[in-house]
């Protein structure tokens, strides 16, 4: 094979490699797995009244089905909290929502907080939101960003209103605890 032809062939091979498409460029939702893991940990580090310790352990998501709901469904459904099996449910509106141990309200549904607070009144549902100032609107736990880190703040009084007891281990990890 002539010198020139050889070089052209190898250069073509190298060029085709250097133009290879990169691994995966699609943006990944890197916040939702952390929030889902926190929600699962809330289930393990909070005490529900005895009448909530039977049957399924329901974690509900109000709002977008992508992100946190998908993570909960694929990674935590079927796992156990004590003797209770986790079931993950999704609701697109407040009217659809009935009963759950944990209700996570996605930011797109944050405006439903007042009707939700009324709906969960007298029930032992842990209301988790993701909007600044929502501990004042009835949420027991609110997801916040502290710098670049995903954190959560806790309102002990809002939890107590729903007969929920939060473990010290969880309180220590909160970025803020409101008595």
Partner 1 sequence: MKGLKNIALIVLVTLAYTGYGQQYTAKAYEFYQAQQFDSAKVWLDSAVVSNERFNSQTWQLRGLVYRKLESPENSTYRDISIESFVQARNVDSTDKYKEKIDGYLYNTIIRYYNDAVTSMNEGDLDGSELAYSAYKNKYKKYIDAGFDFKTNDIEYYNALGGNYLKMVAELTGEEKAKMVAKGVHYYEIVLEYDPNQFMPNFNVGIMYYNQGADLIMNMDPLTPIEDVPAIEARAQEGFQKALPYLQHANKLDPSRTDVIEAITGCYYGLWGSENEDYIKYQTMLDERNLPGLLEKISADPENKTVLKELIRIYSTTLKDEAQYKKYSEILNKLED
Binding site residues, partner 1, CB under 8 A: 3, 6-7, 10-11, 13-15, 17-20, 22-31, 33-34, 36-38, 40-41, 45, 64-66, 75-76, 79, 92, 107-108, 145, 148-150, 169-170, 173
Cβ proximity to partner 1: between 25 and 50 the closer is 25
Smallest distance, partner 1 to C-beta of residue 86, A: 11
Q: 123 or 151: whose CB is closer to partner 1?
A: 151
d(CA 28, CA 55): 35
CB-nearer residue toward partner 1: 92 or 114: 92
Is residue 39 within 8 A of residue 68, CB to CB? The reply is yes
Distance, first Cα to last Cα, the chain: 83
The residue among 31 and 123 lying less far from partner 1, judged by its C-beta, is: 31
User: From the CB of 141, what's the least distance to partner 1, in Å?
Assistant: 13
Minimal distance, residue 78 CB to partner 1, in Å: 11
- C-alpha angle 125-69-82 in degrees, rounded to nearest 5: 50
Residue 54 CA to residue 57 CA, distance in Å, equals: 8
How many helices (DSSP H) and strands (DSSP E) are in the chain?
6, 10
């Amino acid at each position: 094979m002539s010198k020139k032809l050889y070089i052209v062939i190898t250069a073509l091979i190298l060029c085709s490699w250097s133009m290879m498409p990169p691994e995966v460029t699609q943006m990944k939702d890197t916040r939702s797995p952390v929030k889902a893991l926190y929600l699962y940990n809330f289930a393990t580090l909070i005490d529900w009244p005895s009448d909530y310790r039977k049957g399924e352990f329901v974690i509900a998501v109000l709002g977008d089905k992508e992100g946190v709901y998908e993570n909960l469904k694929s990674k935590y459904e079927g796992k156990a909290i004590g003797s209770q099996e986790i079931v993950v449910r999704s609701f697109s509106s407040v009217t659809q929502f009935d009963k759950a141990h944990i209700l996570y309200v996605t930011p797109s549904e944050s405006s439903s907080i007042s009707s939700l607070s009324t709906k969960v009144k007298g029930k032992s549902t842990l209301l988790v939101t993701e909007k600044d100032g929502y501990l004042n609107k009835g949420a027991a736990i609110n997801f916040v960003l502290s710098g670049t880190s995903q954190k959560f703040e806790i309102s002990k009084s809002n939890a107590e209103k729903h007969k929920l007891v939060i473990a010290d281990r969880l309180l220590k990890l909160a970025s803020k605890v409101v008595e």
